Amino acid sequence: MRILVLGGDGYCGWPTALHLSVRGHTVAILDSFVRRLWDHEIGVESLTPIRSLRERVLLWEELTGDRLAVFVADLQDHQALSRALGEFEPDAVVHFAEQRSAPYSMIDREHAVFTQVNNVVGTLNLLYALRERCPECHLVKLGTMGEYGTPNIDIEEGFLEVEHNGRRDLLPYPKQPGSFYHLSKVHDSHNIMFACRLWGLRSTDLNQGIVYGTLTPEITRHPGLINRFDYDGIFGTALNRFCVQAAIGHPLTVYGRGGQTRGFLDIRDTVRCIELAVLNPPAAGEYRVFNQFTEQFSVGELAERVRLAAAPLGLSVALRNLPNPRVEREHHYYRAAHTRLHDLGLEPHLLSDTLLHSLLEVALRYRDRVRPEVILPDVDWRRPGRGRGGQTRS
């Protein structure tokens, strides 16, 4: 198949492109490199020293003989996006090309507006470009479990059968997003579903849990292929951040009481889920949703597992509860369905001590690059602005 990966320079996009390439697909990457610009803007960098996309693509070709075509374009530029689709003629488009940080979207008005415009308008441009250039193409869109929030009922995979006043219907599952970023993903879902109904497009919306890890079999082929590893308070995910804190002797910072429960998955399962969705496309006009995670943990449970796994490596780790910068329930019911990808053949990599040791070893290998001052949260949902350095923007 011919597969175009939007956002292919990023944390999920780069390993996905390699995973699909090594399995015989013709893969192209489209990226504007804005994710690297955001690092400069907020004053952080990846724990791992990632090379430029050009260097990584050339190295991949040297190692495998497989060429990854690269299109430099932004989804805000509809004409450039449309040209890329027309030139490459993909059978599937994998869409990672969005601002994906909840804290970034909550910094202030400017960042909330930017996140919603970037994500919602970019996806609208993509939908129109698909209609114009390749209406039979399958859109695989990375959504988020954060669209659902934490309802006091079971979370289904996208849709909920409802009986009301003697009548029954299958309706989109109610959404309770927790940030302006998560709201942008809800808007995306509605727009994609509408475009499928309106124009007969086909799409799979993958509501993904929190991803951890940085290594896939393809990434481990050469140090120059290494993926990014974010640990800061804005782009860093919980488990990656805890492993970095353990490596440098910093207490593991648990927000609030630590009962916040979410779905999690290994980066190796992310790329496999994408492949399974691509290989099993929906019918024309169909919009479907898969919940993409393999296990669920509370934040406190996750921190305790890191603490225990760090001990055999000679790391003495403490836990510290911080005031929660987010507005969220800290103890709640959480049970989400996630069977559809398993039914397609997903064999998950569950969070074991061996896997935790491998994550800790990555953190230890690069701990000279850690900047402790960027780990703690400096964005408060209740007060626009950033706390670090006393700078506030509105």
Q: Token digits for 90?
A: 């993909």
Tell me the C-alpha distance between 264 and 221, whole Å: 25
> SS3 for 385?
strand
Tell me the C-alpha distance between 321 and 251, whole Å: 9
Tell me the C-alpha distance between 353 and 78, whole Å: 46
Q: Are 195 and 206 in contact (CB under 8 A)?
A: no
Q: Are 369 and 47 in contact (CB under 8 A)?
A: yes
26 classed as catalytic: no
What one-character-per-residue DSSP string does 197-225 give? HHH--EEEEEEE-EEE----TTGGG-GGG
Residue 51 gets which letter from DSSP?
P
Task: Let me know if 348 is exposed, middle or buried by CB neighbors in 10 A (0-12, 13-18, 19+).
Answer: middle
11 classed as catalytic: no
Q: Token digits for 299?
A: 């934040």
Among residues 185, 216, 294, 366, the one annotated as catalytic is 185
How many residues belong to the chain? 394
Among residues 11, 104, 148, 181, the one annotated as catalytic is 181
Among residues 16, 115, 123, 144, the one annotated as catalytic is 144
Tell me the C-alpha distance between 357 and 40, whole Å: 30
Q: Token digits for 63?
A: 């190692």
- The catalytic residue positions are 144, 181, 185
